[in-house]
Structure formats: structure tokens, C-alpha cells
Amino acid sequence: MSQHAVWMTFRSMTADPSVKSQKLKPGTIKRIISYGRPYKSQITIFLITVVIEALLVVSSPLLLRELIDKGVIPKDAGLVTKLALAVGLLAVVDAFFNIFGRWYSARIGEGLIYDLRSQVFAHIQRQSIAFFTRTQTGALISRINSDVMGAQQAFTGTLSGVVSNVVSLVLVVTTMLILSWQITIVSLLLLPAFLLPTKWVGKRIQALTRDAFNLNATMSSTMTERFNVSGALLVNLYGKPVKEENFFRTRARKVADIGIQTAMLNRVFFVGITSVAAVATAFAYGIGGHLAISGSISVGTLLAITALLARLYGPLTALSNVRIDVMTALVSFERVFEVLDLHPMITDKPGAKELKDKNLQIDFEDVVFTYPKAEEISLASLESAAKPETIDSGEVLQGISFTAPAGTLTAIVGPSGAGKTTMSALLPRLYDVTRGAIKIDGQDIRDFTAQSLRDSIGVVMQDAHLFHETIAENLRYAKEDATEAEMIEACKAAQIWELVSSLPNGFDTMVGERGHRLSGGEKQRLAIARLLLKAPAIVILDEATAHLDSENESLVQAALKEALKGRTSIVIAHRLSTVMEADQILVLEKGLIVERGKHEELITTNGLYSELFNRQDLTAN
């Protein structure tokens, strides 16, 4: 039995048998086949090479038979030379088809991985923010990596394995029966002695493989959390290095122990099946030898049968586990489809138009909003600890109505949890309103394409996010074709140019993961520069100056004041001193606007705004 056949059998043994009990959704097979249609001709050529390779498996022993019976025994040197050359040529042809088939297999497999990964990535990108607040990042990445690669096995490894093993088995058994039915029957009778120990070892290996996967997933999760900047900072400030080390060592030790057990079982498995194959070969030689002595078969036939026997048990064992292999690939496809079938919450309505105007008025008309339930936005299988929600979050916003005239600044203030950030998330359609409407120049924002709406809105959040790229790449995320002069102008307006120009690599400086190589204030000013570079018609600032010290805050406030001229602006602020000059101030409490007006009007009413302002004023003093 060849090393390759042993390995293919072992790989089949590591598959999880629990997939056999899973039920596929109706139409899954048809949908899978649709992914293979673009590769129809390539799959056909690939399967032809697989069949040819299977035919070559039988051809070599038959040539050996002719070489012995008609060349060596009759002492026909010329025929021996010709047949030896034919055997060598057959090996070269086999190698060619092997490489040729592998090339097609790689093209099909990698093409499918590319198609599926691209489709899943694009689909996930279109999901709403609500989806990402529920979903575990690692689970999503697993769908794009592990499940996509498992799915492509359906068209390469599994399909070729089934075809190759079926053709090889039929040809080998048929040829052996023709050559000697007696030896063939005895060889097949030994099959249980081969399969039963293999099944036992296979179950043990499957269990160990599953445990190793789970432990490796736990370790990966631990490393991901500890090795990012925020996690490392938390460990340094609160963690105990010895405890962290012991936690990791315990799991790493378990993985090592499983690795030792798997290695030993692998060796036992290999020795066991090769030993059974050797016993079967011994029986074949024994019975065949007597038959050859009696003249029932020739010596060449005996050698051909023993050569074929080595090619019999591998396909038999592989086909005994074919249901697991097939279902593993199909379940991987289904897990990919599960993500692709998750409908994005925010979509463009048919006939949605582009928002192109610059001077825009915003109207909230009796807006009510309730956060969607988990089953509406995500999948339980993509959450690390999915549990049914027993508490209704209720209406976060309750009948919000106001108008922000074009070119004016509207401030939204109020205690934590009042719904301020939720209001700012509804305008760019990160969520859709539950009831009521948000209008721009009298037109419901749902009538515009989401892309054109968001292109018209610039946002700076309280925690500005920067990608692990250069300063220039982070700035150009707002405007791809931004020139260096434009970036310099934006940085100057955001009071960050002095820092950028002082860096050895300037705009080519890497900001680090989540921008952690910069201070909070520096990140915020870069985010403001990014906003200014986008030059949107509507600006939303959600605590945009929260991380700035007094000196930088006054500079950025002056820059923002200039930048916001002519733009409709929504500013959310906890520090009320930053919004005293707003055209209107909305005071929010428990999802309701309880006060509205200018600073001078609200400060004299002795209401919530006055209370919040006086409290902050006292704190400042």
C-alpha cells in the first residue's frame, strides 16, 4: 500500500463524523453546482486526468505480468527491453498526468476560493453596523478562511477522490478477478481485519483532532486579545504575568500532549494497515504460489495480482469514509451560504437616486427608534456566546422632531444614555428609523442611495479609528485622489501639520494598530483633517474634541468653526462650553427632546440644560 494512499486514508480519518447527521437545506446541492459552472470545462479535463491516472494504476502491473511471462521466463531479451521501456514510459506518462491534473486542480480550487472569499467579503461589508456589534470577528474570519477552503474541497479533493477511488477499485477488482478469482476472494475476506482497526483508530484520531482544534482556537483567541495594543495595555496595567503565562502554558501543554498521542496513533495506524496489507500479500503469495506450481496461473500473473493488491485497500478505506468527506465539504458550503443569505438591514430601494446637492437642510419628523433584535441582524453561529434576549430595549428615541436649516450648527446635549449618538447614527443610515422619517431638503433619506448619502456626510467620532497604515493612506481614505498639497492644507486646518511635518517620514509614517502610536489628541486631529479633506455637505461631530487638551481644543475649535461655514452641522457634546455658539441646542433626556433653543435662552430657564451647564462650570472652577 503506497504512502500516498495511507495519508489520504489518514486525512479522511481526521474528519469530524458528526457532519453525517446534519441535514442540508433544500437546494443546497443545486446552488453548489452553480459555483462550478464557470469551471465546467476545467473540471471535465481534471476528471479525465483522474480517470487516466486510475487506468495507469492497472496498466503497470499488467505490463509487469507480460514482462515476466513472455520476456523473462522465455528468455526473450528483446521483449524484456521493450516492456521495461514501456513500464518506464508509463511512469513518465503517469507523472505528467499527475502534474497536469494537479495544475487543473489548483486552478479550480484557487478560483473557487477567490470567488467565494470575494463574494463573502463584499457581502459582509454591506451589513449594517448592528451586525458588527453582535458578531465575533474571529467567527467571520473563519467563514472566509476555513469554511471557504473546506467548500472548495468539494470540487477538488472530494470529487477527484471519489472518482479516482471508484474507478481504481472497479478496475483493480475486475482485473484481479480476471487474473485469479481465488486470490481475489481471499484478499476481500481479509478486508474486515483491515477496516475494523482502522475505524477504531480513526475515531480516536477524530476525537483528538477536534480537541486540538478547540484548544488551538482558544489559544488563538487569547493571543489575539493579548497581542493587540489595547489588550497589551490592559495586561500591563491590571494583569499578572505569571497567571497569564500559566494560563497559556496549560493549554499549550494540552495541545502538545494531544500532538504526541496523535503522532503515536498515526504511527500505529500506519504500521497496522501496512501490516494487514503485508499479511494479505503473504496470503496472495502463498495461494498464488501453489496455483502457479500447479499451472493454474503464471508467475507473471501472481506478481501482477500482488502489485494490484497493494492498490486495493487504499480506495476501499477511503470510500468507506466518503460520506464524511462529502458532507464535510457540503456543510462548509452551507456555512458560507448562511452568511451570504443574511440580508443586509440597510439597502437601497428600487429607483433610489443620487444625493448631489451641497446646501442641505435636515428634518427629523416624529422619529422613533428601537434597536433591532439579535435574530434580525446576525447569526447565532457568528456569536461567541449567543443567548436569547429576554429584555426588550424599548424605544431609544421617542418622537424626535426638529429642523436643522442649511448651513447652521445644531448641538445635541444631554446626560449619558439619552440617545444622542443614536440620533447621529440615523442620519447616515447606519440604522434605519423604526417610525417617522429623516429628510434632507424635504426628501426622505431612504429615497437616496446609501453611498451618495454617506458621501455627503462627514463624521468624527469620540474614538477616532485609524487603520494600521501610513498617515497619507488614512487621510486618502476620505479622498482617494487627494494631492499632497490638499492633505497639507487639511492638516494645517486641523492643527496637526506641525506634528506631521516634524516626523522623519512625514505622511509616510505608520500610525500603528488603531493609531496607537499617536496620542488621543493627535488621532482626533488627524480624523478632523480626514473630515476636512472629504469636504462634506453635512458634518456630524460626536465628541470630536473630547481627547484634546485646552490649548489644542481652542485651536481645533477655531479650525472647525472655519471649516463648518456653509455646512449643515450636528454636534454632540458633553462639554457644553463647546456648543455655546450653536444656532440651536437640543436637550435630550430618555429619548425625548425636553428643551430647545440658544444657549442664552436655555441658561435662564433653570431646566436640565442650565443644571448640566452649572454643574460643569462648577467642576471647571
Residue 238 lies in a domain: yes
Residue 47 lies in a domain: yes
Residues 79 and 210 reside in one and the same domain: no
Distance CA 560, CA 460 (A): 11
Residues 288 and 142 reside in one and the same domain: no
**Domain CATH number, residue 119:** 1.20.1560.10
Residue 4 lies in a domain: no
Residue 498 lies in a domain: yes
Residues 166 and 34 reside in one and the same domain: yes
Q: What is the DSSP letter of 373?
A: P
Read off the pLDDT of each residue in 488-503 and give the average, rounded to a whole number: 87
Number of domains the chain is built from:
3
Cell of 354: 443620487
Q: What is the DSSP letter of 1?
A: -
* pTM as predicted: 0.71
Residue 579: name the closest of 363, 436, 412 by CA: 412
For residue 490, what are the domain limits? 462-535
Residues 124 and 226 reside in one and the same domain: no
Residues 99 and 194 reside in one and the same domain: no
**Domain CATH number, residue 498:** 3.40.50.300
Residues 276 and 152 reside in one and the same domain: no
Residues 167 and 216 reside in one and the same domain: no
Query: Distance between terminal CA atoms of the chain?
Result: 86
Write out pLDDT tens, residues 141-197.
766 777 777 777 666 777 777 887 888 888 888 888 888 888 888 877 777 766 666
Residues 23 and 166 reside in one and the same domain: yes
Name residues whose C-beta falls within 8 Å of residue 503's C-beta, 6 or more positions apart in sequence. Answer: 471, 509
Residues 139 and 215 reside in one and the same domain: no
Residues 50 and 32 reside in one and the same domain: yes
Residue 562 lies in a domain: no
Residue 438 lies in a domain: no
Distance CA 95, CA 103 (A): 12
**How many CB atoms within 10 Å of residue 254?**
16
Residue 246's pLDDT band (cuts 50, 70, 90): confident
Q: What is the DSSP string of 54-123?
A: HHHHHHHHHHHHHIIIIIITTT-HHHHHHHHHHHHHHHHHHHHHHHHHHHHHHHHHHHHHHHHHHHHHHH
- With b for 16 or more beta-carbon neighbours within 10 A and e for fewer, the 474-510 pattern comes to bbbebbeebeeebbbbbbbbbbbbebbeeeeeebebe
Give the residue from 535, 566, 585 where a domain finishes: 535
Residue 4's pLDDT band (cuts 50, 70, 90): very low
Write out pLDDT tens, residues 331-359.
777 778 878 888 888 888 898 999 888 78
Give the residue from 296, 330, 360 where a domain finishes: 296
Residues 175 and 69 reside in one and the same domain: yes
Residues 44 and 151 reside in one and the same domain: yes
Residue 372 lies in a domain: no
